[in-house]
């Protein structure tokens, strides 16, 4: 996640741009910082403005992506796993080299039931004679009217450990109220928490529309830090980022760049202002490489994107909802509020 931050920044740079008021006024008068409330993201917490909306989110634990569905009945859960069971048993694996060949082997390899209200299906859609292909996994956990759906894969060499793997992960997943910050150790995701500490990979990505209807986006991405992340600082990407901005209309200037600390981690930031005709936009980026030896210091990439040049928006709508001072205030306020949740690791 964001190992090569320049690619992500280039993608996002085409989406947003903007400027307007509120220099040294108190935080409560900044329209992008109204009613801040503690919000759990992974093993961390920050003060999320109450009026903001999540525009995108992704969670991954031990290689499995987790998605959440609310207000699901137990009957609906059973219908899903029954339909999946039927599909897995009815479909036959194919030979990737000869798709017309009948292998005589159903997709389904194994079913794991870590709890009474969960199922994991381990399967293959294809089988090769020259190599052992990995197995796909798909599972559901029903918890208090919430349905968690996981998708992932497992190498053929680990197939004998599939019960151990999913018994560990699934039994640690609990439903939770997103509005509440848990006090126990664990990794927060949408509507749930994977309790306890873990040596396995965890990834979270959330995007917050700070003023729905206006181009104002705050993005946080975290994953376990790995060896080599220290060799990919933000400053290494800066020349590429400047080249990308040079290809955009208008002109830019750097408001601030250098080292800073976020959530107890060493980080680097670079903050741009972009002016294109009557539209002023801001692109603020931060990267903390983290520490592979602790969950308390994940690889962390954060962006604030204000303003978006668009044919569907007037210059007044496209420009950032705040001016330079207001944009800096939003950035510093949100970053300074980010911290490791007490007891999270």
* C-alpha closest to that of 296 among 288, 305, 285, 308: 288
Answer yes or no: are the C-beta atoms of 339 and 46 closer than 8 Å.
yes
Tokens read off for 162: 């599939």
Task: Write down the residue that tokens 């987790």 correspond to.
Answer: 66
For residues 124 and 88, give the distance between their C-alpha atoms in angstroms, rounded to a whole number: 9
CB neighbours of residue 192 within 10 Å: 22
All structural domains of the chain, each given as residue ranges with its CATH number in brackets, are 5-57+201-340 (3.40.1000.10), 64-180 (3.30.310)
Read off the pLDDT of residues 79-99 as tens digits, 9 standing for 90 and up. 999 999 999 999 999 988 777
Read off the pLDDT of residues 242-297 as tens digits, 9 standing for 90 and up. 777 777 777 889 999 999 999 999 999 999 999 988 899 999 999 999 999 999 99
* C-alpha closest to that of 202 among 182, 181, 175, 221: 221
The answer, yes or no, to whether residue 27 has pLDDT greater than 60, is: no
Read off the pLDDT of residues 154-191 as tens digits, 9 standing for 90 and up. 999 999 999 999 999 999 999 999 999 999 999 999 99
Average pLDDT over residues 90-112: 88
* C-alpha closest to that of 207 among 222, 197, 193, 217: 217
Tokens read off for 343: 């007891």
- Look over the chain and give the mean of its residue pLDDT values, rounded to a whole number: 89
For residues 161 and 10, give the distance between their C-alpha atoms in angstroms, rounded to a whole number: 41
**High-pLDDT (> 90) share of the chain, %:** 74
The answer, yes or no, to whether residue 3 has pLDDT greater than 60, is: no
Average pLDDT over residues 321-330: 97
């Amino acid at each position: 996640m964001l190992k090569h931050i320049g690619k992500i920044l280039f993608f996002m740079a085409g989406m947003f741009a903007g400027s307007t008021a509120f220099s040294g006024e108190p935080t409560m008068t900044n329209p992008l910082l109204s009613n801040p409330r503690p919000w759990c993201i992974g093993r961390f917490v920050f003060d999320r403005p109450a009026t903001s909306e999540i525009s995108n989110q992704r969670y991954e634990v031990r290689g499995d992506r987790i998605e959440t569905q609310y207000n699901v009945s137990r009957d609906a859960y059973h219908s899903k796993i029954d339909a999946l069971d039927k599909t897995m048993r009815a479909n036959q694996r194919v030979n990737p080299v000869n798709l017309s060949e009948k292998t005589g082997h159903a997709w389904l390899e194994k079913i794991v039931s870590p709890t009474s209200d969960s199922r994991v299906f381990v399967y293959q859609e294809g089988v090769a004679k020259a190599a052992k292909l990995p197995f796909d996994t798909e599972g559901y956990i029903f918890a208090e009217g919430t349905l968690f759906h996981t998708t992932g894969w497992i190498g053929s060499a680990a197939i004998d450990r599939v019960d151990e793997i999913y018994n560990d992960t699934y039994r640690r997943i609990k439903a939770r109220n997103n509005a509440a910050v848990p006090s126990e150790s664990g990794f927060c995701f949408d509507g749930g928490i994977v309790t306890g500490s873990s040596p396995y990979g965890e990834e979270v990505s959330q995007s917050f529309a700070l003023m729905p209807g206006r181009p104002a986006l705050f993005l946080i991405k975290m994953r376990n830090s790995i060896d080599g992340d220290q060799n990919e600082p933000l400053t290494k990407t800066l020349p590429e980022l400047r080249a990308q901005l040079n290809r955009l209309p208008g002109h830019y200037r750097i408001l601030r760049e250098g080292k800073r600390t976020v959530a107890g981690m060493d980080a680097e930031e670079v903050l741009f202002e972009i002016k294109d005709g009557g539209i002023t936009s801001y692109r603020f980026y931060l990267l903390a490489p983290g520490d592979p030896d602790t969950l308390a210091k994940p690889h962390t990439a954060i962006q604030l994107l204000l303003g978006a040049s668009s044919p569907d928006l007037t210059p007044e709508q496209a420009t950032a909802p705040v001016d330079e001072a207001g944009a800096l205030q939003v950035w510093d306020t949100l970053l300074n509020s980010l911290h490791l949740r007490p007891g999270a690791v």
